[in-house]
Structure formats: structure tokens, C-alpha cells
């Protein structure tokens, strides 16, 4: 599974869980993303190793000078988890219903990045100097 396909699947799961109001799936996805981001044990690389193939990410990347030894995909996972859980938790725990837009935007943006191959968060993190 390439990173692009992973983004498409994650975006579809986020949108499905928001549409059907499945809270536990949102929190499980965010937990998975944070775990993958912090530990660098990624589902995509594990599946590629199991199949004995190496796939390129399939996304538009910037090759700029790398200032940090932290991968941009790991940064992407942490940012997506925070952008998903923080507004979602504020909606359900504190009643800030005006924040409904942010989880939906995150889901559509990730699904669009998986479909098109252009992810603005990933490009920005590469521009910032992450590997």
C-alpha cells in the first residue's frame, strides 16, 4: 500500500465515521496516526515489507534542503490526528458546535490528497525542512 492509497483510505474512513457518527472510529484513527507518527512503525511500510515490494509514495514531493531528520510523513500523521481530534473532542465534550467544519474539512482534504496526489500539509512540512 502506498502513502497515496493510505491517505485515500484514511480520508474515506474519516468521512464515513463522521457521516454515521461513529465516535470510536475517529478516536481509533487518531490513535493509530499518532502511534505511527511517534514510533515510525507505519502500516504502509509493514505491508510493503510483507509483500517484498517497495512502492514510491505516489505524491508530489519537494526536494529541498532537509533541516530535520524527522520524516514529513510522520509529521503529516501527527498533524492530521491533532486536526481531527481536537475540534471533534471540543464539539462533543464542550458543545462548540461551530467547529463541525474542521473534522469534515480534514476528511475531505485527506481524501482529495489521496485521489490527486497533492497534499498541502505534506508539501508544507517538506518546505519547512522535514525529510
The pLDDT assigned to 45 comes to: 86
- Give the whole-number percent of the chain exceeding pLDDT 70: 98
User: What is the span of the domain harbouring residue 93?
Assistant: 3-127
- Considering Cα of 41, then 119, then 8, then 1, what sign does the dihedral take? negative
DSSP state of 23: H
The pLDDT assigned to 105 comes to: 93
User: What Rg, from alpha-carbon coordinates, does the chain have?
Assistant: 15
Q: Is 32 exposed, middle or buried (0-12, 13-18, 19+ CB in 10 A)?
A: middle
How many domains, in total, are found in the chain? 1
Is residue 78 within 8 A of residue 34, CB to CB? The reply is yes
The pLDDT assigned to 22 comes to: 92
Cell numbers 496516526: residue: 33
The pLDDT assigned to 131 comes to: 83
pLDDT digits (tens, 9 = 90+) for 7-60: 999 999 999 999 999 999 999 999 999 999 999 888 888 888 898 888 777 777
Amino acid at each position: 500500500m502506498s502513502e497515496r492509497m493510505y491517505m485515500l483510505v484514511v480520508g474515506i474512513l474519516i468521512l464515513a465515521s463522521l457521516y454515521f457518527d461513529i465516535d470510536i472510529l475517529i478516536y481509533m484513527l487518531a490513535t493509530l496516526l499518532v502511534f505511527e507518527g511517534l514510533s515510525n512503525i507505519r502500516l504502509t511500510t509493514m505491508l510493503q515489507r510483507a509483500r517484498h515490494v517497495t512502492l514510491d509514495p505516489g505524491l508530489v514531493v519537494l526536494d529541498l534542503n532537509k533541516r530535520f531528520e524527522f520524516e514529513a510523513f510522520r509529521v503529516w500523521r501527527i498533524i492530521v490526528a491533532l486536526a481531527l481530534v481536537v475540534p471533534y473532542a471540543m464539539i462533543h465534550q464542550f458543545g462548540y458546535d461551530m467547529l463541525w467544519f474542521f473534522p469534515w474539512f480534514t476528511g475531505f482534504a485527506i481524501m482529495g490528497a489521496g485521489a490527486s496526489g497533492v497534499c498541502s500539509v505534506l508539501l508544507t512540512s517538506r518546505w519547512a525542512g522535514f525529510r
